[in-house]
Structure formats: C-alpha cells, structure tokens
Structure 1
Amino acid sequence: MTSEFSAASLRSQPSSAARAGLASMPLLLIGVVFAIAIVLRQVVPLNTDVSWLLVIGERMLDGQRLYRDIIEINPPMAPFAYLPGVALARALGVDPRHLIDAQLLLLAAASLFIVSRILRLSPATTPLKPGAFAVWAAAIVTILPMNIFAQREHIALLTFLPALAVYALRSSREPLPLWAILIAGLGAGITLAFKPFFTVPAALCILFAAIRSRSWRVLFAPENIIAGVIVTMVSLGTYVFYPEYFTITYPLVRDTYLSWSMPAAVIFLNDATLISTVALVAVLLGRQKQKPDPVLLVAVLASVGFAVSFFLQRRGWAYHSYPMVVLALLAMGYVLTGASGGEARSRRAEAVSIFVMAATFAFGMIWFNANVYVGPIREAIAGLKPNPRILMLSGEAALGHPLVRDVGGVWVSRQENLWLREFVRLTREKTTVDAATDAKLNDYLALERKWLIEDFRKLPPDIVLVDNLRNGWGDWARADAELSELLKPYSLVRSVEGVDILRRTE
C-alpha cells in the first residue's frame, strides 16, 4: 500500500530535476535578455550626448578645465558620471564606450538585485522573484533604451530604483537595515544631482510614504537626509570648484536654452505619453478589485512625478521621458505578470496582457531609437586622413558625435556643437525679444564666434564639416572675413546630405 501511494505521488508531482529546470528557466531568460542587450550595444550607434560626454571626460583627464576649456550645458554631475569609466578605460587601453556599456549593464543588474533584496525584507510586499516580471524588468532597463542607452536619465533611473523600494517599505512602517538605507540615500542623491527636475518624483514618493505611514518623521528618514547631503555637497562643490558654471555657462543657458519651449503638441502628444497612459490604464484595470500595493503605488507615483519633470523640461525629447516610461511599464508588468498577486485570470485575459506588454515594449523601442539622420558622412570621411582633427560648423550635435569617435578623430571645438547660435535663433523665433535682450543675445553670438576662432587657431582641423542644410552655416562662414580667411587652406571633398566636407590642402 505504501509503495503504491509513493508511486502515485511520484507520478502526480514533477521530479526534483524537473522542478529545478523550471526554477532556472527565468534566470536563463534573464541571461538571454542581457546577452541581447550586449549585442545591441554593438549594433545601435552610440548616443550623441554620451559620445560628447566621453570626449569631455578624456579632455578633463588631459588637464582641460570644465566650463573654460570645455563648454558644457549641463552641471558637473553629467561629465563626472562618466569620468571614472573613461579613466579606467584609459588605464586599460580600451575604448571607453565599451566600458561605459559594461558599467551600465552591471548597474542595471545590481539595481534590480538590490530592489529584490529590499522588498524581501517585508512579508507585506511581493519580492522580485526570478519569474516573468523579473525578465520583464531586466528587458525594460537593458533592451528598451536602444539609442539612449547610458544617457543621464538611464543612469538616474537605475540609481533611483532602490530608493523606491525603500519608500514602499517606509510607507508600511517596515524596519530597514543600514545597508538598504545607505544605498537608497546614495542612489536618490545621485539621481537628484543630475537635474533639479528629478526632485518632483522623489518628493511625491516621500510624501506618499509619510501620509500612508501616518508619520511626519518619515519626511526626515535617514535616506532622505543622506540624499539631501549629497545634493548639497554637489551644489557647493560646483560653486567652489567650477564657478564658471554660474558666471558663464548658466547665464547662457538661462537666456537661450531655457527661454523657449517646443509646441504643446510636441511636449504632451508624443509616444512617451501614449505608452505611459496605456501602461497606467492597464494597471488600473488589472487592480480594480485588489487592495492597494505599496510597491505598485510608489512605482505609479514615481512615473507620474517623472512625467511632470518631462513636461517641465518643455522639449518632448525621447531621452527626457525614459524614467517616466520605464516606471509606468514596470508598474504594468508588475500587475499583468501576476507579480503583484491577485486572482488567476482567464486565458483570454492572459493573451490580452501579453499583447499589451509586447505592443508597448515595441513602441518604446522605436521611440527610444529615434535619432537624427546625417547620411553617410562617416563613410565619406573615412580614409581622408588617419585620426583627423575635426571641426564642425553646425548647430546639430548629431553630425559630429559619435562620428569623431567612430573615425578615431580629435574634436577641435570646445563645444559639442555651435549650440548658442542655434538657441539664439530659436529664442528669437519663439519668444518676444526686446532691445536689451537682443543686445545680450548678440553678445552671446560674438562670444561663441570668439571661441570658435580661438579653437580653430589653437588646433587647426584637418577636416571641417559645414552644415548647409540647417540654418545656412556655409553662407554665415563666407560672410565672416576672419572665418573665410581661416577656411582658405581647405578644399571641398564632397557634399553629403547638405553637409560640405572640407579637407586641409596645406
């Protein structure tokens, strides 16, 4: 009788080997996700801004001064985020882009692992076990970014995730170990140091934790103090060590870049808004009859907060929307994969869930892979001269980056592109400019022209790219006597997509 019962039990249950195989499947799929992400890094072009920030890092290591020898629109946190990777790449003798890619993938894996560990601290939350949601989360932070991979928003989102897990536990008055508090505070501080706009999601989540826990003391939780100290130190460090950011760069940014806005349709009616809306509607429909989940509520609030920061930046650019979209998709995946618990669903509901997740992910990949088409300029330059020094007359950064890195060249200008002339044009087109402001804008144009000529003389370029497609840079240069004189030793090689490629003949 005993033997018959044992045999029946063995027939009715999977073998231990089978169970082990099923348990390892999600881990295998996560490995596949990271393998795909690695392949994409070899196929998808390096992001324009990331390429420029790598140039900044290399120049800083060569002794050049940020905001004096290098003119960068962003606060020091942006270049410093990449500087350690650039320094290590130089020590190892490898291209820094590969090291930055590896660092971001490691950061993604570490961030998800830490979030899972933090959520496991509470029996009231659903930990991120290696299941369908874990695979979804891995894909969202590694594959979805496409061309904006390693952008500041990508880094900021990854460093912020552990803090979100801590906020969720704080809202339930759960005890937290010191390591979780330190990581959350450090991560939140790094995120907030990138952009003041990121204060919105952090403030919403902290306020939520205080209200739900019914304790105002949560507002002054140690992770919040740590984050505040980091932001204060970064701000003071900028003031002390890089005063030129406040005396030179910020006034230029304030009076040009920040003075105008893209049309409301571009800011609000875009794929990022559509994807996030679909994801949050799916969350609402999927959780109609279930109790509030602190993890889900924090993710939704953070997505809404990052949406506010996206809209406040008034550009509608894809990389600005990444944190908002990611958190909305993570919230949706948390519900639709069943990670949040709840009743079993019908096969039809499961099929609809899979379709919605696949569709939003595909639209997200397309949205984050959009870039400026510059034509076969790289092919036209390749072979003209080994490791050429390159200068560009254009307000379009994508013409020169990552091209200069792809051809092993040296960037001559102290700027990523001639952005002041471009932003002044947009300021005059999109705002009302009085006489005093107009005079100030002319001073800015004169300053940028002065920088350009100084850079031209200091390190004469081998190749000059003149953008005649956007804003008539060729006519502008020919109308300037000093620039025309500097361009005399150059001859036209060919024109590609409205861009003249000039080569030094002397």
Structure 2
Amino acid sequence: MAARRLPLILGLLGLPWLIAACFPPLNHDSAAVLTWAQRMVAGERLYIDLIDVNPPMIFWLNLPPAAVAGWIGLPAPLLLVLWYAALSLGGVALALPFLPRVLPEGARWGLLTAAVGALLILPAHSFTQREHLLLALALPYLLHALARAEGLRAPSMMATAALFAVAVCLKPHFLALPAGVEAYLLVRRGLRTSLRDPVIAVMVGIGLAYLAAVVWLTPAYFQTILPMMAELYTGAGTDWGHLLLGDQVPPLILGGLILGGIGWKHGPAPRLLLIFTLAATVAGVTQLKGWDYHFVAARGGLLLLVGWTFGHWLKRPAVAVSAAFVLSLGYASLTAPPFAAQRRFAATPEAKLGQRMAQAVPHASVLWFTTSLKPQFSLVQALGQHYIGHYMSLWPLPELYPPEAPHVLNPIARSEGVERQVIDATAADLARKPDLIVVTDGASEPGFGGQPWDHLTYFGRDPRIAEALKAYRPIGKVDGWTLYQRTP
C-alpha cells in the first residue's frame, strides 16, 4: 500500500458513516437544539420564548446551518452534519503537517485511522451530540499538543486552540480536558515555556469573551434559567455506585491505564492520549447521569490510544491502518451495529407516527405533551414541521412530582414558581393553535417511573387550557402516543 494512497483510503473508509449521518433520524438532542436555532433565526428569543437549561454556545453554533437552511432550502440536519464536519476537517488540516515531525509513520497512520473510527463510526446515534462535537474539535488541538510537547510552535496552533475552546464552552464539565492536557505540558516543558505559549492565552481569552457574551446577550440565562435549575435540581440524587461501577467508567479507566502504561515510556503521544481519555471520563462522570453519550469523547480518546498503540508496535502503515480500522468497527459494533438507526428507522413506531402526522397535516405546526425529547424533534426535522412550544419538553413535571412520591397535585390556583411558568407557557402554546398535538402516555415515560400520569388531566385543570383543548379530536394512537388534530 503506497503511503500516498493512505489519505484517500482513510477518506473512503469513513465516507459511508458520514453519508449515513445525513439521513434520518437526527439525534434527538441535536434535533432539539437545531429546532431552537431555527426559531432563533426566525426572531424568537433564547431563554425567553425558547426555554432550555443548556448554556447558549451550542445554540449559537447551530445558527449557521439553521440560517443557511432557511436561505437555500436544503434540510437543516444535512447542513448541520456538514457544518460540524467542515469545522473538524479544517482544524485537522491545520494540524496534520506537524505529525510527521512528532510521530513515526506506523504510529501516525494508526492514530489517524483510529481518528476516523472515533469521529465517524464510534458515535453511532450520538452523532452531532455535544460530546461528539467536543471530540471532533479536540482532535486538532490534541494533534498540535503533540507538537507543542516537542517544543514546536506555529500560528495555526492558535486556530485549533480557538476551535477547542469553543467546544469546551459547550459545557462547564469539559474544562477537565484542557486542564489535563495543559497540566501535562506544564510539567513536561516547565512554567516559563508554558507562560509564553499563546495557546493558553487564546483559550482563556475565548472563555472570558464567551462569559461576557452570555451576560450581555442572554441575561435571561442568569435571571430565569439558573433559578429554575436551582429550584428543580436541589434534591436531585446520584447513584454513585451505578455511575462509577456501571458499564461506562471501568472499561475506560482500565483500558486507558493498561494501554497508557504500556506506551508511557515511548514519548508524549501515549501520555497525552491517556490524559485526554481520563479527563474526558471525568467530564462524563461530573454530569452525574451516567448516560452513554456523556462518554463519547472518552471512548474516542481510548480508541485514539489504541490506534497509536497498534501503529507503534506494528510499524508498517498498511498493517496499522487495517488493524485500527477493524478494531474501530468492532468496538463500535459492541454498542450499535453499523447504520442501525438509519436502517431500522422506517420500521419503528416513531416513523409510523410520523407517517400518520404527515398524512393528517403536511409540514404541520405541532405541540407535544411529553417529558422526553424523543422522538418529537427527530420527527420535526425529518418532516419539516414547526414546533411551537416554549419548552423542549415537560421535563420539570417529574421533578415537581417525583415517581417515588404520591402524585397529589398542587391546586392550580396556588401553583407557583416553575410549575406556574410551565402551565402559563402551555396555555400560550395552545393559544397559537397548533395543527397537531401529541400526548404521550405518562406511565410510559421514564421520568415518572412507570407511575400513572395523564398530561391532559393535569393541564386541563387550567380553564385556558381546557377551553383550548376542546378544539382537538383524537385521530390515532401509535404505541404510547395519541395524536390529536385541530378541528376547523
């Protein structure tokens, strides 16, 4: 295998997964954020008309594909995937020229093959999630960190640091990654060299500028969202045993320590990759949920470490590429067979519901009564619908009425705080006269722990909502969802 053909081969290996990501269903979280960005482009205000607890960076990053979709008519999910791919590939292109100077040929191609697997194959249905974007924008920074560890410097390093800083701003938990990498470089290079390194100044500057922008552009985040989170999350508990000893954290730590220990004496590459993997694991743990997608970046880091290890010991580029790709495919298949979401989507209850909605009112305005983001926003994007709700979902309700406590409803006239905000927002949503509403059976929603809950009974106690609901008739039921259509 001629070395000059390897870039083309890597591109062809990853291309099917990139193409598949452009087809429905878009990840539900990503679809929700993209929907909010489209409504921002249309003039609605984040944290006032559009309520969500996430900091604004992810919404701002979604504005370019949302705006372009409105201008040229291409599907917004397609443009979102291409936008993220362009950001990552642009950063990698800046870092690639340094790799031959810091890695031998075998290790270099093993690492790059693993990068294709980590970015395109491993994420599966978490494609475009924030942790996936973190990994995509961290890779150029990490490649440049290998060069910085060897004393190399270049203006392009500031560009990849800027991209990475933007990714870190997506969630405060992500600060663990630059902290770990820069701490290693500080120990390796010394304090004086690190203080003179403009990369750190660039990242700190972007972080401070972002904080100032949040205060200036979205003051409602501090005035409304943070108090809401304080009210709802105060009593939230964490199952630390499941979080630390479940199926996510132990394999990452054990695998990272074994591979990092094997390669520790062979230069900064395995050390930085180990530190990145452990720091990304910490970022996942500190989110206190243990959800699979919270560890996408950590699994990607471990795969990068595996790729370097294969390349380092196998030496020959062709063998390293083959081994790293096969392992990437096998590792990813443990959690999701290739293209599983796209291949199975048409036969799912979600797709059947979408077909029923499209038959009733094409490109409808819709409102969902559900505590989840699944599947409404994936359907909104796939069907070109317009979601009109103030909230992405009714997630505050299980926090206000936890499943372990009896569901004794607060009198509607005396509701206050977040509960009053949710009720008023729902009344305002129905006043917009959506074409369709979908009501999820509360007992089927994870938030209520299988306990009975009727969304329409709960909200129907408000006279405004009760009157608005009279205009809707049920037209079908699919799985746990009942579809209602507004009558003329």
TM-score normalised according to structure 2 size: 0.86
Partners of 1:474 and 1:30 in 2: how far apart?
52
Partners of 1:350 and 1:91 in 2: how far apart?
41
Corresponding position: 1:225 with 2:201: yes
Q: Given the superposition, is the C-alpha separation of residues 357 and 67 from structure 1 closer, same or farther in structure 2, using an over 3 Å criterion?
A: closer
Q: Given the superposition, is the C-alpha separation of residues 354 and 43 from structure 1 closer, same or farther in structure 2, using an over 3 Å criterion?
A: closer
Corresponding position: 1:148 with 2:130: no
The aligned counterpart of 2:10 is 30
The aligned counterpart of 1:58 is 38
Corresponding position: 1:308 with 2:279: no
From 362, 372, 377, give the equivalent of 1:386. Answer: 362
The aligned counterpart of 1:482 is 464
Point out where structure 1 has 5 or more consecutive residues left out of the alignment: 1-20, 431-439
SS at match of 1:161: helix
The aligned counterpart of 1:407 is 383
From 314, 317, 322, give the equivalent of 2:296. Answer: 322
Per-residue displacement from partner, 1:15-73 (whole Å, max 9, x unpaired)? xxxxxx63344333212223212332244510112111221121111111111111121
SS at match of 2:59: helix
Number of equivalent positions: 464
| % identical aligned pairs | 20
Corresponding position: 1:114 with 2:94: yes
State whether residues 393 and 464 of structure 1, in contact with CA within 8 Å, keep that contact through their aligned partners in structure 2.
yes
Query: Aligned-pair distance for 1:394?
Result: 1.0
The aligned counterpart of 1:176 is 153
Query: Aligned-pair distance for 1:383?
Result: 0.5
Q: Given the superposition, is the C-alpha separation of residues 357 and 390 from structure 1 closer, same or farther in structure 2, using an over 3 Å criterion?
A: closer
Partners of 1:191 and 1:236 in 2: how far apart?
17
The aligned counterpart of 1:437 is none
State whether residues 271 and 363 of structure 1, in contact with CA within 8 Å, keep that contact through their aligned partners in structure 2.
no
Per-residue displacement from partner, 1:274-320 (whole Å, max 9, x unpaired)? 55246425514753xx7232122111101111111111100112221
The aligned counterpart of 2:179 is 203
State whether residues 238 and 288 of structure 2, in contact with CA within 8 Å, keep that contact through their aligned partners in structure 1.
yes
The aligned counterpart of 2:410 is none
Query: Aligned-pair distance for 1:141?
Result: 0.5
Partners of 2:290 and 2:401 in 1: how far apart?
19
Partners of 2:41 and 2:376 in 1: how far apart?
21
Stretches (4+) displaced over 6 A: 127-130, 349-355, 367-373
Partners of 2:45 and 2:137 in 1: how far apart?
28
Partners of 1:332 and 1:219 in 2: how far apart?
32
The aligned counterpart of 2:424 is 450
Point out where structure 2 has 5 or more consecutive residues left out of the alignment: 406-413
State whether residues 186 and 227 of structure 1, in contact with CA within 8 Å, keep that contact through their aligned partners in structure 2.
yes
Per-residue displacement from partner, 1:421-473 (whole Å, max 9, x unpaired)? 233335x859xxxxxxxxx995211111111111211x111111111133422
Partners of 1:351 and 1:171 in 2: how far apart?
28
From 49, 68, 71, give the equivalent of 1:69. Answer: 49
Q: Given the superposition, is the C-alpha separation of residues 393 and 267 from structure 1 closer, same or farther in structure 2, using an over 3 Å criterion?
A: same
Partners of 1:31 and 1:352 in 2: how far apart?
16
SS at match of 2:46: coil
Q: Given the superposition, is the C-alpha separation of residues 320 and 84 from structure 1 closer, same or farther in structure 2, using an over 3 Å criterion?
A: same
Q: Given the superposition, is the C-alpha separation of residues 306 and 136 from structure 1 closer, same or farther in structure 2, using an over 3 Å criterion?
A: closer
The aligned counterpart of 1:46 is 26
- Map of 1:68-467 to 2, 5 A cutoff? 68-120=48-100, 122=101, 124-126=102-104, 131-172=109-150, 174-180=151-157, 182-219=158-195, 221-257=197-233, 259-273=235-249, 275-277=251-253, 279-280=255-256, 283-284=259-260, 286-287=262-263, 291-336=265-310, 338=311, 340=312, 358-365=329-336, 375=350, 376-426=352-402, 429=404, 442-457=416-431, 459-467=432-440
Counterpart AA for 2:240: A
Partners of 2:39 and 2:123 in 1: how far apart?
27
State whether residues 77 and 381 of structure 2, in contact with CA within 8 Å, keep that contact through their aligned partners in structure 1.
no
Q: Given the superposition, is the C-alpha separation of residues 379 and 67 from structure 1 closer, same or farther in structure 2, using an over 3 Å criterion?
A: same
TM-score normalised according to structure 1 size: 0.83
SS at match of 1:64: coil
Q: Given the superposition, is the C-alpha separation of residues 461 and 343 from structure 1 closer, same or farther in structure 2, using an over 3 Å criterion?
A: closer
Q: Given the superposition, is the C-alpha separation of residues 267 and 366 from structure 1 closer, same or farther in structure 2, using an over 3 Å criterion?
A: farther
Query: Aligned-pair distance for 1:493?
Result: 1.0
CA RMSD in angstroms comes to 3.2
Q: Given the superposition, is the C-alpha separation of residues 35 and 119 from structure 1 closer, same or farther in structure 2, using an over 3 Å criterion?
A: closer
SS at match of 1:36: helix
Partners of 2:276 and 2:196 in 1: how far apart?
19
Counterpart AA for 1:328: L
Per-residue displacement from partner, 1:310-342 (whole Å, max 9, x unpaired)? 111001122211111101111111102x2x357
Partners of 1:31 and 1:353 in 2: how far apart?
14
- Relative contact order higher in (CA < 8 Å, ≥ 6 apart): 2
Counterpart AA for 2:148: R
From 469, 473, 476, give the equivalent of 1:491. Answer: 473
State whether residues 296 and 331 of structure 1, in contact with CA within 8 Å, keep that contact through their aligned partners in structure 2.
yes
Q: Given the superposition, is the C-alpha separation of residues 487 and 354 from structure 1 closer, same or farther in structure 2, using an over 3 Å criterion?
A: closer
